[in-house]
Amino acid sequence: MKFARRGTAVLAAGLLTLAAASTPAASATPAAAPHLPPPTGSQPVGTTSLYLKDTSRPDPWVPTVHARELMVSLWYPATAPDGPRARYMTPTESALVLQDAGITSVPPGVLSTTRTGSFTGARPAGRPHSLPLVVLSPGFKQPRSTLTGLAEELASHGYVVAAIDHTYENVATTFPDGRVTTCAACEVPVHDEAFWQKLATGRAKDVSFVLDELTGSQPKWAGAALLDPSRIAMAGHSAGGAAAIPAMAADPRIRAGIDLDGSVDGPLPDGGLARPFLLLGRAEQYTPGTGPAAASWERAWPSLTGWKRWLVVAGAVHQSFTDIGLLADQLGIPTGATLPGARGLAITRDYTRAFFDLHLRHRAEPVLDGPSGRYPEVAFCTPEPGTCG
């Protein structure tokens, strides 16, 4: 395999680039309590968490830990909205996230009060082997909870979604025994090309292990019989998006992939990747010809030999593709975006779902064919001759 050269520090962006933003967000009026938009699908959403342990390999960041431990959240269509409303994150996780971002203008536990649209332990719904599976990988330093809005949306439309906390690569992961691990990878002194290659390769192994645990002969989730192992896909934000290509290259079970605002920094198949792939990012960084981040996509583009699209979103910032842009607006924290956080998340949810509906369910999705009046912020790009429209 060959490796794409890393673009800029886009991949290394922290969880919230909010405190230093100079331009107020489009909606900066604090809400009484933060909340995610309700899912738009017809099915209630259940959720649960899994503790998984890969004894075949040590942790890549803490060698004295002799097995790779992972926390995974599952969201799925449920028979009814039964059980308590799911917690977004713990107060400790919220405090560590805000501390890492240098944000002191809100209570440290405020993110733990975020109202979600899913229900803990609700009974899964579906026929055996009927539900597609989507794996989500968050950005570097970001907990898996920051992709909850996207996960709930997909689950309400009949997907099972597995979001992975890549242990020691984010500011806080809480385990069932009460341990809270922090970001050992952040303490590596040099975040050079070798660092990002190691991170992408490790995430690919995490994804394959999670797929084994969900679809193997002794699955770790009680609802695993509902999964269709022939319809698996992956999406990731930032470093998680960059890891989608090496994960697909390493695991043929992953039929389609999405990179949300991540510079491509990982192994590219020597013969190309013939499975569907979507690049969706900020217009400021990923319009062809604008700089190193866009150049990383330009280098990867020829290796994507199957169905592909390159889309950019005007007015977006790095966190517009996660829950954080929305929650920051609600809490009155400036992000630098001119695109409201709610609109950024809506665009992410709609285009992501359209992509998976097209490639996992073979449903026609005209929104992916070209510019749409419903989404004037979204432009379709062609790296040669370097135009978007």
Q: In angstroms, rounded to a whole number, what is the distance separating the alpha carbons of residues 125 and 123? A: 7
DSSP-derived 3-state class of residue 379: strand
Q: Are 150 and 116 in contact (CB under 8 A)?
A: no
Other CB atoms within 10 A of residue 114 CB = 23
Give the CB-side neighbour count of residue 132, counting CA atoms within 13 A.
25
Q: In angstroms, rounded to a whole number, what is the distance separating the alpha carbons of residues 379 and 389? A: 5
The length of the chain, given as a count of residues: 389
Q: What is the pLDDT of residue 386?
A: 79
Token pair of 278 as six digits? 């979507």
Burial degree of 290 (CB within 10 A; 0-12, 13-18, 19+): middle
All domains of the chain in start order, with CATH: 2-388 (3.40.50.1820)
* DSSP characters over 14-65: -S---TT--S--S--PPPSS-BPPPP-SSS-EEEEEEEEEETTS--SS-TTS
pTM reported for the whole predicted model: 0.93
DSSP-derived 3-state class of residue 119: strand
| CA distances, 115 to each of 200, 343, 347, 375 (Å) | 32, 18, 20, 27
Q: Which residues pair with 378 in a beta bridge?
A: 313
Q: Are 288 and 301 in contact (CB under 8 A)?
A: no
Q: In angstroms, rounded to a whole number, what is the distance separating the alpha carbons of residues 198 and 195? A: 5
Q: Which residues pair with 70 in a beta bridge?
A: 52
Q: Name the one residue in this structure whose structure tokens are 């809005």.
A: 149
| pLDDT tens-place values along the chain, 389 residues long | 443 333 333 333 444 444 444 333 333 444 468 999 999 999 999 999 999 999 999 999 999 999 999 999 999 999 999 999 999 999 999 999 999 999 999 999 999 999 999 999 999 999 999 999 999 999 999 999 999 999 999 999 999 999 999 999 999 999 999 999 999 999 999 999 899 999 999 999 999 999 999 999 999 999 999 999 999 999 999 999 999 999 999 999 999 999 999 999 766 788 899 999 999 999 999 999 999 999 999 999 999 999 999 999 999 999 999 999 999 999 999 999 999 999 999 999 999 999 999 999 999 999 999 999 999 999 999 988 778 99
Give exposure, 186-217, as e/b (b: 16+ Cβ within 10 Å): beeeebeeebbbebbbbbbbbbbbbbbbbbee
Q: Name the one residue in this structure whose structure tokens are 């790779």.
A: 68
Phi-psi region of 6 (alpha: psi -120 to 50; beta: other; left: phi over 0): beta
Q: What is the pLDDT of residue 29?
A: 44
Q: What is the pLDDT of residue 331?
A: 96
301 DSSP assignment: G
